[in-house]
């Protein structure tokens, strides 16, 4: 009996050791792919950058012309290729390269995380969701705003740095999503650079851009809680009204979340559907159509935290609470697609919002 107890004790000990090694290995792998960058450019943002692949020894890739020349020399030496054969080989290689490219996600935080402590940026959002088990097969750029509005020029400079130093980024699939102050940035950035952002999701925000009409060129999803007192829902109403004054929006989904406060929509960062919707758009899509097939509503929003580990490979590094979220007792989701009537003023546009609308269904 004593021998059996000893064997059982040893088995348990080995099991605990194996579990610890697995957890530590997962955390180590995560840390090797997530890096903080400071003072990279004068006047720029400090930021976190996540790479789905281990970083290369240098951040300066071989020039494109040099790589093409080396490939051509190797091919000619090996196969004595003729121009036509070289062309076909180059096309196949380019197709393989494009197939391996991954999208870039830009996460913009709200005003509560502004400052100079980069650890604050990890409190909620895309990187926190990945740390808690959500699988997002993409590069992630998460800058920190020291204060004030997000600057589209600074943000686009960061995307240029990322694509220059990480050739694996698909520049036709750059997405932005943000909440509160970040929701403003998620609209101001595509308004300034509509031909650089493939799709955008703005949560509980608004816009300060003077070129809001450009948002009609970008697949866009705006979500805002009707019970938000920090950033009232009419901030998003104004954006939609301004878009309608420019032209009838063909690439917009506007969701007014009835009964949601300012923090509750943060669950969207922890949902696979959010990233599936973003990733379904490309700059090279003919006409840049809007994907209306993915559902985000009362059937899946309340389950966001419980569902995110189902497909995930990255394990949570600890049992950390997500800040500022309360359980949703009752949710009524009102989906509005092009439902705000054209108005001559912001007040008229706000009055034109219908009191109830049918739910979005597949």
What would the 3-class secondary structure string for the chain be? CHHHHHHHHHHHHHHHHHHHHHHHHHHHHHHHHEEEECCCCCCCCEEEEECCCCCCCCCCCCCHHHHHHHHHHHHHHHHCCCHHHHHHHHHHHHHHHHHHCEEEEEEECCHHHCCCCHHHHHCCCHHHHHHCCCCCCCEEEEEECCCCCCCHHHHHHHHHHHHHHCCCEEEEEEEEEEECHHHHHHHHHHHHCCCCCCEEEEECCCCCCCCHHHHHHCCEEEEEECCCCCCCCHHHHHHHHHHHHHCCCCCEEEEEEECCCCCHHHHHHHCHHHHHHHHCCCCCCCCCCCCCCCCCCCCCHHHHHHHCCCCCCCCCCCCCCCCCCCCCCCCEEEEECCCCCCCCCHHHHHHCCCCCCCCCCC
What integer pLDDT is reported at residue 18 of this predicted model? 43
> What's the whole-model pTM score?
0.71
What integer pLDDT is reported at residue 48 of this predicted model? 96
Neighbouring residues of 56: CB distance < 8 A, sequence distance ≥ 6: none
Burial code of 320-351, b = ≥16 C-beta within 10 A, e = fewer?
eebeebeeeeeeebbbbeeebeebeeeeebbe
What integer pLDDT is reported at residue 261 of this predicted model? 93
What CATH code would you report for 34-57+101-317+328-351?
Answer: 3.40.50.1820
Sheet with 34-37: strands ordered across? 34-37, 46-50, 139-144, 102-108, 169-179, 199-203, 220-225, 252-258, 332-336
What integer pLDDT is reported at residue 304 of this predicted model? 87
**Local confidence pLDDT in tens for the 362 residues of the chain:** 565 555 555 555 545 544 443 444 444 455 568 999 998 866 789 999 999 976 554 444 444 456 666 666 666 665 555 566 666 666 666 666 667 899 999 999 999 999 999 999 999 999 999 998 899 999 999 999 999 999 999 999 999 999 999 999 999 999 999 999 999 999 999 999 999 999 999 999 999 999 999 999 999 999 999 999 999 999 999 999 999 998 888 999 999 999 999 999 999 999 999 999 999 999 999 999 999 999 887 778 888 888 766 544 333 333 222 222 222 222 222 232 333 333 333 334 444 444 443 333 33
Give the residue from 291, 64, 294 showing the smallest Cα distance to 198.
291
Contact status, residue 183 vs residue 145, Cβ threshold 8 Å: no
Looking only at the bridges linking them, the beta strands covering 220-225 and 169-179 are unpaired
What integer pLDDT is reported at residue 117 of this predicted model? 94
What integer pLDDT is reported at residue 348 of this predicted model? 46
Main-chain phi, psi angles of 247, to 5 degrees: -170, 170
Give CA–CA dist 328/343, Å, rounded: 34
What integer pLDDT is reported at residue 354 of this predicted model? 46
Task: Please give the radius of gyration of the chain, using alpha carbons only, rounded to the nearest integer.
Answer: 23
């Amino acid at each position: 009996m004593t021998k059996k107890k000893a064997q059982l004790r040893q088995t348990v000990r080995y099991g605990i050791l194996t579990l610890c090694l697995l957890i530590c290995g997962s955390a180590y792998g995560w840390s090797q792919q997530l890096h903080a960058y400071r003072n990279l450019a004068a006047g720029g943002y400090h930021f976190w950058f996540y790479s789905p692949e281990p970083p290369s020894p240098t951040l300066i890739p071989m020039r494109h012309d040099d790589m093409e020349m080396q490939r051509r020399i190797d091919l000619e030496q090996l196969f004595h290729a003729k121009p036509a054969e070289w062309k076909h080989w180059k096309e196949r290689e380019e197709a393989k390269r494009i197939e391996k490219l991954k999208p870039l996600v830009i996460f913009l935080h709200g005003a509560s995380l502004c400052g100079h402590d980069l650890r604050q940026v990890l409190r909620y959002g895309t990187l926190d969701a990945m740390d808690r088990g959500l699988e997002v097969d993409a590069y992630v750029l998460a800058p920190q705003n020291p204060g004030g509005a997000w600057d589209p020029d600074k943000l686009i400079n960061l995307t240029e740095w990322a694509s220059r130093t990480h050739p694996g980024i698909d520049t036709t699939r750059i997405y932005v999503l943000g909440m509160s102050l970040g929701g403003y940035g998620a609209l101001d950035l595509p308004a300034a650079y509509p031909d650089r952002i493939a799709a955008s999701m703005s949560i509980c925000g608004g816009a300060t851009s003077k070129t809001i009409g450009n948002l009609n060129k970008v697949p866009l999803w705006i979500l805002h809680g009707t019970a938000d007192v920090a950033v009232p829902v009419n901030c998003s109403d104004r954006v939609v009204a301004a878009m309608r004054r420019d032209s009838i929006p063909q690439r917009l989904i506007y969701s007014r979340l009835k009964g949601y406060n300012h923090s509750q929509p943060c669950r969207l960062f922890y949902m696979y559907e959010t990233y599936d919707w973003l990733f379904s758009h490309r700059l090279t899509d003919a006409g840049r159509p809007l994907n209306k097939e993915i559902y985000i509503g009362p059937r899946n929003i309340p389950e966001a935290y419980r569902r995110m580990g189902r497909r995930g490979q990255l394990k949570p590094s600890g049992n950390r609470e997500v800040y500022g979220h309360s359980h949703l007792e009752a949710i009524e989701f009102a989906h509005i697609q092009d439902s705000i009537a054209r108005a001559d003023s912001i007040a008229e546009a706000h009055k034109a919002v219908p009191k109830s609308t049918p739910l979005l269904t597949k």
